[in-house]
Amino acid sequence: MALLQISEPGQSTKPHEHKFAIGIDLGTTNSLVASVRSGQPDTLPNSSGEHLLPSVVQYTPDAIVVGAVAKKNQIEDPHNTISSIKRLMGRGADDLISQFESLSEVLPFEFAVTDSAVAKIKTVAGDKAAVEVSADILKVLKLRGEQSLGDKLEGAVITVPAYFDDAQRQATKDAATLAGLNVLRLLNEPTAAAVAYGLDTGAEGIVAVYDLGGGTFDISIMQLKKGVFEVLSTGGDSALGGDDFDHAIAEWILKQANINSRNLTASLLRLVLSEACKAKEALSKLEQVEINIQFANDNSWTGLLSRDELSSLIDPLIKKSLMSCRRALRDAGVEKNQILDVVMVGGSTRALRVREQVGQFFETDPRVDIDPDRVVAIGAAIQANALVGNDSDGNLLLMDVLPLSLGIETMGGLAEKIISRNTPIPVSRAQEFTTYKDGQTAMAVHVVQGERELVDDCRSLAKFELRGFPSHVAGAARIRVTFQVDADGLLSVTAKEEVSGVVASVEVKPSYGLQDSEIEEMLKASMAFAGEDKDARSLREQQVEADRVLEAIDSAVADDGDEMLSQDERETIQAARSELMIARHNAVETQQLKEAMAKLEKASAEYVARRMNASVQKSMAGHQVEEFNK
């Protein structure tokens, strides 16, 4: 009798070929690891049955402590106990100087003074970069996955906020590599949540994923249809979350207690923040909560924080998130009444005021039946399971999008967009450019990110040079610039001179990321200054054209002006040239430049015609007309 090999739904029919993979939600406040077992995705607990791993790391001279124990020790040992490290990922030392100037952004640890562009935190175990701290958290999650699954891991899908830029994504990938993880893919957190939500409910339609975590906020408008998860638009703030709620409450406490934060020790500051967090969480169930804090020198303060008072403290922060929601709807071309469901993701969505305000904005009750803490990790696990080939139904099709446009600088400091924001990724786009001057054998390529028309108003990502291509007259060279964005949202740029085949390329791995709310500010500015940007671009384009005309006439006159121009013609052309030069530097409207260029072209028209005729005669010298007709 033949033996039949039976497996659970969703599992390989050959258990020995089943590959183990995990999904990781690397969060600001808490982190989780999940996997698909017996066809069912779920988060993996530690030996004590706890699913959430506090994203807190304590460094001692002898050991590294991660999780709940480290969290308990952060009041007694604030300088060596690091939390909310996600907010520092991909940020340079210069970024952090401005980021943590205000009380609402104070952190109870010290930054080391180094020559490195990467910010590092002082600890007794040495200076630690954000990538190293995150790697220590990932090591614990990796070990939990291996112990739970009982085998070697093929890889992991790690989630990141949709609004993480290249530097922040690369920092996350570097941390995973440092932790010994094979990164199958970086997956946007709202997309991961939609994967878990879509498969759990079988829903199809347009869904808004409102993801408010401990330190980041994302809003994604997504179309769910027949296994395809397409992001229509995305928005958010990479520095807005529950931590900011805590800081707002802490400021209120210190104001009520009449205490200047600058007089607090790091331990007391951590204590105030801890009590603020506890009060915030308690007010999800109670109408008011008593706060009692023992400050130094027997100075204590006791007060009541009501739910209404909490609402007034966090409403400005919630309003910031709703502004992003409004923009995301507009970008997606979707009306509120087209939204099937609003899915709440992230621990900070447990705040009742958040749910209330989001419900009022979208004019529907948000979905809170899915565990907001675990849904992202579960979605990541589903995708990881598909990527290693365990999904019997085939891989999911996930279509994330770029949060900001990518392009290069062209003459005159103009930003030429090659890939527009909200373009689905992975994507590859190419565009041809040419040289500006005669005899040019090299070209500088400046890669920029942003929505504005001028490079000065965008963010510089990388610079590289294409050298060694043949000398041509201006405009004859063909240089193809290709932008490739992979599924992780990481960018590579290649420039190739088509005739010679000379190639240069760069992977965009900046050492620091955008400052707080910088992406949001970029989008605000692009809309607020849309009219001015259009005019500024038009003027800059005319200035570039004016420079070309001036250079061409100067070159021509220097070449044969003495032979082909009368004194009167030379003076007329010179007068028109001077007028164009003045307009080039002083004009505030494109029309002035156009008129000045038209005058110069009219003044030099006969001269240009004579030069062209002379050039044709020179080319035909010694030849018969019939030769050119063959």
Catalytic residue among 25, 166, 488, 533: 25
Measured distance CA(358)–CA(12) in Å, rounded: 42
H-only helix segments in 493-604: 518-528, 530-564, 567-586, 590-603
CA distances from 435 to 441, 547, 559 (A): 9, 14, 22
H-only helix segments in 306-400: 307-332, 352-362, 375-387
86 among known catalytic residues:
yes
**Within a 10 A sphere around the Cβ of 156, how many other Cβ atoms?**
27
Catalytic residue among 77, 132, 174, 211: 211
562 among known catalytic residues:
no
Residues 6 or more apart whose Cβ sits within 8 Å of residue 413: 454, 455, 456, 540
**Within a 10 A sphere around the Cβ of 259, how many other Cβ atoms?**
18
Contact between 533 and 454 under an 8 Å Cβ cutoff? The reply is yes
Measured distance CA(39)–CA(474) in Å, rounded: 62
Measured distance CA(43)–CA(51) in Å, rounded: 7
Q: What is the dihedral of CA 337, 343, 345, 348, to 10 degrees?
A: 60
Reading the block at residue 399, the tokens are: 């279509």
Contact between 265 and 284 under an 8 Å Cβ cutoff? The reply is no
Please report the DSSP string for 148-165 in residue order. HHTS---EEEEEE-TT--
Burial annotation 93-106 (CB, 10 A radius, 16+ → b, else e): bebbeebbeeeebb
Catalytic residue among 71, 86, 120, 496: 86
Measured distance CA(322)–CA(594) in Å, rounded: 44
Catalytic residue among 77, 95, 174, 189: 189
619 class by beta-carbon count within 10 Å (0-12 exposed, 13-18 middle, 19+ buried): exposed
Measured distance CA(542)–CA(559) in Å, rounded: 26
CA distances from 133 to 66, 112, 193 (A): 10, 15, 25
211 among known catalytic residues:
yes
The residues that are catalytic are 25, 86, 189, 211
